[in-house]
């Protein structure tokens, strides 16, 4: 356990059967947190891995687009633990489609999972968190929720989540619940599968010169869940190797071949 850093006793993570969510779950369990691993996909492997390593976890079938499923999962947590101190709204899908290629079905599906899901989730957990003495909610947005991004469904869902986080932060402050959003750049997970050309081109605009390792996002999520961030709420935390702040000039300088006169 990290010296002196305290985490909530119980944390619920959505989309935790794979990718970054599974990484967050393992990292929290290593720090003594009981992790509620929620996903539409089978969570058994992640839960077994955590238990085999000596940690505590439970698996929860959850489609984040279904408010009734959220209510059931929160009931399960209340019955088993009586408290909940953290929620990571991590479940998300990406469709890299330009405007006119975005069907109504894709638009609706992406918005439902990436934006409606966290709304339903925060509504479902707020009272249990309040009754637990407060807590920390971390919403996984994206740099696509901070800048213009070519794919309208993904970008709008993540911009929506950026705003939703700030609204929730204001609403829930009176209950000691903090709400912050995390904005990863490009991270090596299955979400980028099949996007090799896109990723290679994007890396040319990343001052750090590479994509992120999932653990580099986990470190930020851990910080926001812990008592090391008790005065942070309503914040946008960008974790992108400098892409948003410096990507444009990084590429210009690189492409100029050193001739900056």
Taking residues 143 to 182 in sequence order and writing x for each that binds ligand NAD by CB under 6 A, - otherwise, the string is: ----------------------------------------
Closer residue to ligand NAD (CB): 30 or 45: 45
DSSP-assigned letter for residue 15: S
Mask 86-105, x = binds ligand NAD (CB under 6 A)? ----xxxxx-----------
Catalytic residue among 7, 154, 231, 249: 154
Site for ligand NAD in 196-255 (CB under 6 A): none
Nearer CB in complex with ligand NAD: 20/50: 20
Rounded Cα–Cα distance for residues 137 and 118 (Å): 10
Options 58, 132, 136, 142; binder of ligand NAD; rule CB under 6 A: 142
Q: Six-digit token pair at 87?
A: 């929620």
Pick the closer one to ligand NAD by CB: 192 or 232: 192
190 sits near ligand NAD (criterion: CB under 6 A): yes
Q: Does 192 bind ligand NAD (CB under 6 A)?
A: yes
Of 229 and 238, which has the nearer Cβ to ligand NAD?
Answer: 238
Strands across the sheet containing 34-39 = 56-61, 34-39, 10-14, 86-89, 135-140, 177-184, 236-239
User: Is residue 8 part of the contact set for ligand NAD (CB under 6 A)?
Assistant: no
Report d(CA 205, CA 58) in Å as an integer: 40
Exactly one of 8, 15, 55, 241 binds ligand NAD (CB under 6 A); that residue is: 15
* Sole binder of ligand NAD in the list 10, 11, 12, 20 (CB under 6 A): 20
CB of 134 to ligand NAD, least distance (A): 24
Q: In a 10 Å sphere around its CB, with 0-12 CB exposed, 13-18 middle and 19+ buried, how is residue 114 labelled?
A: buried
Residue 209 to residue 30: CA distance in whole angstroms: 30
Cβ nearer to ligand NAD, comparing 218 with 233: 218
Residue of 47, 187, 221, 225 interacting with ligand NAD (CB under 6 A): 187
Q: How far apart are CA 148 and CA 219, in angstroms?
A: 26
- Nearest-angstrom CA–CA distance, 123 and 256: 50
Interacting positions 25-84 with ligand NAD (CB under 6 A): 39-41, 62-65
- Of 169 and 216, which CB lies nearer to ligand NAD in the complex structure? 216
> Known catalytic residue: 7?
no
Q: What is the DSSP letter of 239?
A: E
Q: What is the DSSP letter of 213?
A: P
In sequence order, which residues have a C-beta less than 8 Å from that of residue 6 and are 6 or more positions away?
226, 227
CA gap 143, 183 in Å, rounded: 5
Q: How far is CA 141 from CA 5, 21, 75, 258, in A?
A: 25, 13, 26, 35
Q: Which residues lie near ligand NAD (CB under 6 A)?
A: 14-15, 17-21, 39-41, 62-65, 90-94, 113, 140, 142, 184, 186-187, 189-192
Catalytic amino acids?
154
């Amino acid at each position: 356990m990290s010296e002196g850093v305290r985490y909530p006793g119980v944390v619920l993570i959505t989309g935790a059967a794979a990718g970054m969510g599974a990484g967050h779950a393992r990292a929290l369990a290593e720090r003594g947190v009981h992790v509620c691993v929620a996903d539409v996909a089978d969570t058994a492997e992640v839960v077994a891995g955590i238990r085999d390593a000596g940690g505590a976890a439970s698996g929860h079938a959850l489609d984040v687009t279904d408010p009734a499923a959220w209510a059931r999962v929160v009931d399960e947590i209340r019955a088993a633990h009586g408290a909940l101190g953290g929620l990571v709204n991590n479940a998300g899908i990406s469709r890299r489609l330009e405007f006119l290629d975005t069907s109504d079905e894709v638009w609706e599906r992406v918005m439902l999972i990436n934006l409606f899901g966290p709304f339903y989730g925060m509504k479902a957990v707020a009272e249990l968190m309040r009754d637990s003495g407060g807590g920390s909610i971390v919403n996984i947005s994206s740099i696509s929720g901070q800048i213009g991004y070519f794919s309208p469904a993904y970008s709008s869902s993540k911009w929506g989540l950026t705003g939703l986080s700030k609204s929730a932060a204001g609403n829930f402050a009176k209950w000691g619940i903090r709400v912050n959003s995390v904005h990863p750049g490009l991270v090596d997970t299955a979400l980028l599968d099949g996007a090799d050309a896109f990723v290679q081109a994007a890396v040319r605009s990343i001052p750090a010169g590479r994509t992120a390792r999932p653990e580099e996002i986990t470190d930020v999520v851990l910080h926001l869940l812990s008592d090391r961030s008790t005065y942070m709420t309503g914040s946008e935390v960008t974790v992108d190797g400098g892409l948003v702040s410096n990507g444009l000039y990084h590429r210009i300088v690189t492409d100029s071949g050193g001739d900056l006169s």
